[in-house]
Chain A
Amino acid sequence: MKNTTNIDILECDVIVVGSGGTGSQAVQAVAEEGLNVIVISKDPMSSSDTKICEGVMTVRESGDIKDTESVLSENIKLAGADLPDEKITSAFAKDSKEAYDRLRMNGLRPSINKDTEKPKTLAIAMGGHNKSRSVGHKNSGLAFGHNIWDTIIKYKNVKYIEDCWFLEIIKSDNNKLSNDNKNIVVGGLAYDACRGKLLIIKSKTVILASGGLSTLFFPKTDTMRGNTGDSYALAIRAGADLLDMEQIQFLPFCLASPPSYEGLLAGEPATASFLGVLRDNNNKIILDSVYLRTRAECSEAIMRAVEDGRGSPNGGAYLDMTANKLAPKSGEYFMKYLKGALPSAYNNARQALGKKAGNAEEPWEIRPGAHYSMGGVRVDEYAKAFKTSKDINNPEEIKGLYAAGQAMGGLFGANRLGSTSLTELAVFGYRAGKSAADYAKKEKITFDDRDFDESIKYYDNLFGSNGVEKIYKLKLEFQKECWNNIGPARSEKKLKKIITYIEKLEKKVKNVKINLERKWNQQFIDYIELKNMIYTAKSVALASLKRDKSVGGHVRLDRRASSIFSKPYSTVVNFDSRLGFKVTKLPRTRTEFKRLIIYKINEKSRLLKARILRYLPLNIRDSIIEKKYKKILGENKKVIKIEPGSSAAAPGESQNITY
C-alpha cells in the first residue's frame, strides 16, 4: 500500500476518535507521556455534545465532606437499578475530584464558595443524588467547549484532523503477539473530507471517544447531529461486546413543533411544578403529580396515549401548567420558578410555542426526545475494551482498543443521574489515555500493510457506486422507523418489525448511488453514517428483546415493571462476520433487600402526599404551595438552575428503583 492521490498513510502511537470532552482528556493523558497522538473528529474540533450541554458536573465532596467514595459509588449503582459494574462506579467516585481539578488547570472557572474555599454547588442537592455535589458553570457547556479546544491545541505532539470520519478499527491478521492474533489493534482508516483522501493510520492503539446514538431518532433529540452511533458500530465490528444497549435515556418534554425547534428541550418533570398535569388530545388527564414522576413514567403516559390514537397532532401530548398559573397567591411565584429553573429550556418553549404558552396560559405540546445512551462498549475500569469468546463472565481484552465517555457502557446501567456525564468523560477519557500510553510504550508491533488491504478496498470502491437508491432518503426513513420501534415505547412486535426492516434496508443500501467526487462527498458520508446507525439500531433491538421486564429509560408496552425479587442482569451484544449478532445476559449483583424496600416505600409516600395536595380546598392548597415556592426560591427569590436530564429535573427519579 502506497501513498496515492486518494490515499495517505500516517503513523502515531495513539489515535483518539472524537474531540469532545472525552477526546480532549484522552489527548491530554497521552500527550503528557510524550507520545504522538492523532485526534480525529468529524465535526469541527470541540463541537460536540460536551460543548452544547448544560455544564453541570458532579464533583465528589464539593458540597459535603461526608461524601465518601463509597457513598457516591453506591448512589450511582442504585440509581442504575443494579446494572452498573461496581469496579467502574468505584473508579468514577475515586477520580471525580482530581478529574475536575484537571479541567480547572486547563481553564474551567467555577464560582467559588468563599466559606469552604471550594467550587460552589447548586444550593439544593440534585434529586437522585444523596449529597450536594453538582457544580454549575457560567455559559454552561460553552465553558467546557473552550476547555476542550484549549487542551487539544496545547501540545506539540498532538496532531488534529477535523472534518474527518473515522471509518474502521483495523486489527491484525499477521501478528504473532498473542494466541488469538486477531485481537490486536494495528490502526484505523479514516476519510479526510476536506482533502478528499482516505487515511491509513498505523497505530498500536485506538481510543473511542466518539459519543452517542441519539441521531437514530432525529429530529426527536436535543443532541448534536453527529451522534450516529459510530462508537458502538466501530467497536462491535472490531469484535467488542456492547453492554445494555437497550438503555437509552429519553427526556419526556421536548418540543414537537415547529420544525426548527423539534426535539429541543422544553422542560423536565420538575417544570410542571405542583399542579402541572399531562393531557391527551381529548383533554383528559393522563398523568397527575407530574413533578414527582420519573421521566420514564412521563414518557410512558405520553406514548401510551399516542399508541391509542389519543396523541396530539405531532405525536405527543400536552403539558398543562395552567392550574399553577391561576392560583391567586402562588401563581406569581410559579412564573418565576418556571422561567428560572431551566432557563434554556424555557426559552426554547417560549420561542417555539409563543407568548401565551410562555405565560403558561395554554398547554404545551410536548413529546419525548432522545438524550443519552447509558449502554455502550464493554470496558473495565481502565477503559480497556473487552470481547466474549467463550465465557460471558470472563471476557478477553482487545489489545489496543479503549472506549470512554458516552461511548462506554457499564457505568450508569438503567439510569444516569444528572451532571454525571461530564464527570464520566473527565475520569474515563483520562484513564483511557493513560492505559493506551502504557500499552503503546510497552508493546512492540510490526505493522503489515496487508492488514489494511481489505478495508481500504471496500471504502475506496464505494466512490462511484452506481445504484439507484438515495442514501439520504434511506437515512430519513430509517430514523422514523427507529423512533416508532426502538424509541421510548417498545414491544416485542415493534422490535421484531425493526429487525425485519433492517434486513430489507441492508439490501437497499447495497444499491445506492454515490458519485465519484472525493472531496466532501456527502453521499459517502451519509452512507457510512447510515451503516453505523444500522449496526447500532440492531444492537439496541436485540438487547431490548433480551430484556424480559420493563427496566430503565423506555417503556415496554407489553411487559410489566421488573419486580424487587427478580435478579438484575445486563445485556451483552456482539458480532462476528461469520456468525452474525449474538445477545446474552450477564448477571449482576443485587443490592440488599432492606435498602430496596426503603426506596420503594419512600417513592409511594411522596406520590401520596402530592395527590392529597391536589384534593385539598383551593385556598388551603394555594397557601401551602406558596410556602413551598418561598422555600425553593430562597430569600432572594432566585431559582436554582437545574440540569436537563438530571434527577433534580425529575425529583421522582430519586426513588426510581422500580423492581
Chain B
Amino acid sequence: MDMKEFKLNYYEKLYLARHFEDELMKLFADNKVVGWIHSNKGHEVIGVSLALAMKSHDYIVPHHRDRPAYLAKGLSAKSLLAEIMGKTTGCCGGIGGELHIMDVETRIYGPTGVLGSNLPIALGIAYANKLAGNDHVVVCNFGEGGSNRGSFHEVLNMAALWSLPIVFVCENNKFVEFTPMQKHMNIEDVARRASGYDIEGIIADAFNPMETYETFKYAIEKARRGDGPTLVEAKTYRLDGHYEGDPMKYRDEEEKKYWLERDPIIGFKASLLNESIANESELESLEASVHQVLKEAVEFALKSEPLKVSDTFKNVYA
C-alpha cells in the first residue's frame, strides 16, 4: 500500500468510526438501543491505528470504548450495530449488546462489562499463541481507570516474565466515569508503571494519527519478533460524557475547548488536503461512501429481528 492509499484508508476508517457514533446516538435518543452507549469520540485514532498496525490473524481483547478498532479490524457496521441493538443479526446474535462484542472471524475476544477483567484473558490468548509457536500478537486495551485493578499488576508481571507476544494499550482519556483521574492515582503517566515489570512503556499522542500508528506498529512488531510486551499509553481526551446522557457537571469547558480544537479527524483531513494527498472531491466521495455504508447498516439493524425470549435460554452450556 502506498502512502496515499494508506492515509486515505486511515481517514476513511476514522470517519466511519466517528459517524458510526453519531448514528448510534440518534438511535439511542430514539430508544432503539438496549442498555447504554459509551461514546468513543476522542478514541478513534487509537482503535483505527491499532487495526492498521495489526495483521488479520492478530487478536484484540478490547475495553468498552473500542468500536473504532472493531470496525477498522473488519467487523461490519451492520453486524456491530445490530448487536448493539439486540438484534439476532448481530455478531453475537443480539445477546451481547454494546459491552460484549465478540467475533471469531475478526478475532475480537472477551466481554468488557467488568473493567480490567480482560487483561488476564488477553494474557491467556498470548500464552496459547506462544505455546502453539505461531507469530500472532494480542493487543489488550483498557482505560487508566482500569489500570488500577489488581489484574493489571498480575498480568503485566506474567507477560513480562514469560516475554509473551502482547501489547498493552492504556487509553488514557483523563476521566474515570465522573471523576478526573488525578483523584484515583498519584501518577499522571500510566506508561511509567511499565518500569515495575522491566518492560518498555511508551506514550503516544492519540490526537496525532501518524505518531500513534508508528508507536503501535513498533510495539506490535516487537511482540511478533518475540521481544516481549510493551505498555503503550495513548493520551487522549473523552470528548463526550461517560455514557450517553451524562450531564458532565464535572467537565472543565476550557479544557474541552482546547481538545476539540485539536480534533484529530478534522486535523487529519486538513493534512490530507494541505499535503495534496487528496483533493476535496476525492474526500467528499469517500465520506459519501461511508454515509452510504452507515445508512445501510441502520436500515439493516432496524429491520432485523430482536432476540426472542426463547433464544435467551440457549447456549448456557456448550
User: Do A and B come from the same complex?
Assistant: no
Residues of A within 8 A of B (CB): none
